[in-house]
């Protein structure tokens, strides 16, 4: 008969403590916002989903590590936890910016204290996840899981930014240049997302080619594709158009501007990814 063991290091190590803080702070954030009843807008719904999702997954991670059940899962646990902590940090950071800017007016009209404390809890929750990312990131020269390395963490960042880009896309069918940009976002998102899934599912070993060199080649191709999107998207989006007045968060011009900046962010991410991947594959440090 199998006996469950308790691994106290799951909650007493620095990583475990960071996760405990993340659980408590995300719970505080969504509880306070739920008590106000003012979260029915699309942005409020996104914020509530972020806090609840991060709370639930982090709690499950803590329980699985506390009872040491994670070893029975058919996945790479270190890759999964590294990818999730990076994703959670990005999601909570976005929420910490979006929630106060869309839900707290100037001046604040109702439930001001709850909203302010929820925003503070969300910011602290982001710091907890960022601390976890820093603690679990592989150091130079370490033999570790891929998603805990800088290129692996950048893969999560690239996928998340692509999701933000998709959320802002509305009108792009009128220009072939904009259609090409959407194709770039979609292709790079799909390939990068599959790399993450295959890594967590321990499927990369079955690919019959030099994986590290293939990733370097893909990063170079993605970088070139994003360079074209960085040029073409603002060229065709703002050609012969001026910013309307007024122009709120639902304004197409503002959405296109957001896509422009997010495209630049992903361009930089793929550039850094290519540099790190090339160093890891082709530049060997003497042992």
Give the tens place of pLDDT for each residue, 200-233.
988 877 777 777 888 899 999 999 999 999 999 9
Same domain, 132 and 160: no
Contact 80, 202 (CB under 8 A): no
What sections of 4-41 are H helices per DSSP?
9-12, 14-36
Quote the pLDDT of residue 284: 55
Q: What is the pLDDT along the chain (287 residues), one digit of tens a residue?
A: 445 678 888 889 999 999 999 999 999 999 999 988 877 788 889 999 999 999 999 999 999 999 888 888 889 999 999 999 999 999 999 999 999 888 876 666 777 888 899 999 999 999 999 999 999 887 665 556 788 888 899 999 999 999 999 998 887 767 788 999 999 999 999 999 999 999 998 887 777 777 788 889 999 999 999 999 999 999 988 887 777 777 766 777 788 889 999 999 999 999 999 998 888 776 655 44
What does the alpha-carbon distance between residue 108 and residue 114 come to, in Å, rounded to a whole number? 11
| The token pair that represents 283 in the structure block | 């530049």
Question: Which residues contact residue 46 at a Cβ distance below 8 angstroms, ignoring those fewer than 6 apart?
Answer: 95, 98
| The token pair that represents 285 in the structure block | 């440090």
Same domain, 62 and 169: no
The boundaries of the domain holding residue 207 are 149-286
Same domain, 154 and 89: no
What does the alpha-carbon distance between residue 17 and residue 28 come to, in Å, rounded to a whole number? 17
| The token pair that represents 198 in the structure block | 């295959």
Quote the pLDDT of residue 174: 73
Quote the pLDDT of residue 41: 81
What does the alpha-carbon distance between residue 287 and residue 285 come to, in Å, rounded to a whole number? 6
What does the alpha-carbon distance between residue 178 and residue 170 come to, in Å, rounded to a whole number? 11
Same domain, 227 and 102: no
Same domain, 14 and 131: yes
Geometric angle at alpha carbon 100, from 99 and 105, rounded to 5°? 125
Same domain, 64 and 90: yes
What does the alpha-carbon distance between residue 282 and residue 17 come to, in Å, rounded to a whole number? 37
Quote the pLDDT of residue 249: 65
Same domain, 124 and 169: no
Last-in-domain residue among 142, 159, 194: 142
Contact 99, 126 (CB under 8 A): no
251 φ, ψ (degrees, to nearest 5) = -70, 135
What does the alpha-carbon distance between residue 87 and residue 92 come to, in Å, rounded to a whole number? 9
Quote the pLDDT of residue 2: 45
Same domain, 223 and 172: yes
Quote the pLDDT of residue 287: 42
Same domain, 136 and 154: no
Same domain, 158 and 275: yes
Same domain, 244 and 133: no
Quote the pLDDT of residue 187: 96
Residue 248: count other Cβ atoms within 10 Å of its Cβ: 7
- CB-based burial of residue 154 (10 Å sphere; 0-12 exposed, 13-18 middle, 19+ buried)? buried
What is the torsion angle, in degrees rounded to the nearest 10, for the CA atoms of residue 125, residue 130, residue 133 and residue 135?
-100
**CA separation (Å) from 230 to 43, 142, 207, 270?**
27, 35, 32, 12
Query: For 81-90, what is each residue's pLDDT tens digit?
Result: 999 999 999 9
Contact 99, 119 (CB under 8 A): yes
Quote the pLDDT of residue 123: 96
Last-in-domain residue among 108, 142, 176: 142
Residue 4: count other Cβ atoms within 10 Å of its Cβ: 8
What does the alpha-carbon distance between residue 138 and residue 150 come to, in Å, rounded to a whole number? 8
Geometric angle at alpha carbon 25, from 51 and 82, rounded to 5°? 70
Last-in-domain residue among 142, 157, 173: 142
DSSP of 103-152, one letter per residue? HS-SS--S-HHHHHHHHHHHHHHHHHHHHHHHHHSPPTT----GGGSHHH
Number of folded domains that form the chain? 2
Same domain, 88 and 155: no
């Amino acid at each position: 008969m199998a006996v469950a063991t308790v691994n106290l290091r799951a909650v007493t190590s620095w990583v475990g403590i960071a996760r405990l803080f993340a659980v408590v702070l995300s719970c505080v954030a969504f509880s306070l916002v739920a008590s106000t009843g003012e979260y029915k807008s699309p942005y409020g719904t996104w914020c509530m989903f972020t806090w609840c999702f991060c709370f639930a997954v982090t709690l499950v991670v803590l329980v699985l590590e506390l009872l040491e059940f994670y070893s029975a899962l058919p996945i790479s646990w270190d890759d999964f936890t590294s990818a999730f902590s990076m994703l959670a940090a990005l999601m909570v950071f976005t929420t910490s910016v979006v929630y106060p800017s869309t839900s707290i007016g100037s001046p604040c009209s109702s439930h001001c204290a709850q909203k302010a404390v929820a925003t503070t809890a969300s910011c602290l929750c982001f710091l907890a996840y960022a601390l976890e990312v820093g603690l679990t990131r592989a150091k130079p020269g370490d033999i570790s899981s891929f998603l805990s390395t800088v290129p692996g963490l950048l893969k999560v960042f690239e996928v998340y930014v692509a999701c933000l880009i998709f959320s802002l896309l509305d009108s792009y069918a009128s220009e072939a240049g904009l259609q090409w940009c959407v194709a770039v976002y979609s292709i790079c998102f799909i390939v990068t997302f599959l790399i993450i899934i295959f890594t967590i599912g321990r499927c990369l070993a079955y690919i019959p080619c030099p994986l590290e060199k293939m990733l370097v080649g893909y990063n170079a191709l993605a970088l070139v594709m994003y360079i074209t999107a960085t040029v073409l998207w603002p060229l065709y989006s703002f050609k012969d158009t001026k910013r309307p007045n007024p122009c709120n968060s639902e304004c197409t011009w503002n959405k296109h501007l957001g896509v422009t900046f997010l495209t630049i962010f992903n361009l930089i991410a793929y550039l850094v990814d290519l540099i790190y991947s090339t160093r890891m594959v082709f530049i060997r440090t003497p042992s």
